[in-house]
Amino acid sequence: MSDLFDDFPHFNNLHTRTMALGLATHSSTVYYLSTAGPGTSCKSIWSSLVSPNGRLDADEWGSDLAGVAGLQTEYKALPGSNFQHMVSFARSARFLVVVDPHAARFYSEAEIDHIEERKQRLAEQIDSVYDTFVTRLNAQTDVPLLPGWAVPLWAAGLTEGAILPLETRGDCLGAWLLDEEFEWLPLVQGLLVEGHIRFTHPPKLRAGR
């Protein structure tokens, strides 16, 4: 386990370090963090992540990192060692994320094969993000959104700044924030008028609307 430990980047605070397996950030704010190490070290990293006065760095991944408010954290013992796997993530309907534990080994932004492998793995899983995206928008708009609208809606949301891509590393292949203040209904109506999306059947009116 010690040899594997040295191969990965690390999360560091003033007291210890752990394996950096994955990260999603906006500026220096952490929305997802995946790490492994001795249990006490993981808890020390967690404390630095959530403490207002904590200091957490991640080698070439970032420095002065601080967790977004309301992070949820889970621990899992790794068989055959005294290591634990710790994952902290934003528990919010506006946070979308794609995680692939096997992608943790593709951690370098300087290695082309690492970058390409992460792109391929994200492409293989992006449909699940689109499904979740449409489901959550359905709860926010008066238009009954169809699954087939996901791709043009996603592209339009990125263009309008309604979807914010986060910086991601390691086992976190992609992560995004939905703007809570954005008015999706006019955008959907505009896409309908322009023919970018269309109803395959007449929409059913929602009760009470």
> Residue 183 phi/psi, 5° resolution?
-90, 105
* Structural element, H or E, at residue 195: none
Q: What are phi and psi of 178, to 5 degrees?
A: -90, 130
In this predicted structure, which of 19-23, 79-83, 102-106 has the lowest mean pLDDT? 79-83
pLDDT in tens, 90-111: 999 999 999 999 999 999 998 9
Closest CA to 65 of 133, 138, 166: 166
Residue 10 has pLDDT above 50, yes or no: yes
- 5 has a pLDDT exceeding 80: no
Q: For 121-180, what is each residue's pLDDT tens digit?
A: 999 999 999 999 999 988 877 777 899 999 999 999 999 999 999 999 999 999 999 998
Average the pLDDT over 62-86 and give the result: 94
Amino acid, res. 22: G
Which pLDDT belongs to residue 1? 45
Give residue 64's region: left, alpha or beta (phi > 0; psi -120 to 50).
left
Radius of gyration of the chain (CA): 20
For the chain, what percent of residues have pLDDT higher than 70? Answer: 93
Phi, psi of 107, rounded to the nearest 5 degrees = -100, -10
Residue with tokens 């970032």: 62
Strands 71-77 and 29-38: unpaired
The predicted structure's pLDDT at residue 139 = 83
pTM of the predicted model as reported, rounded to 2 decimal places: 0.90
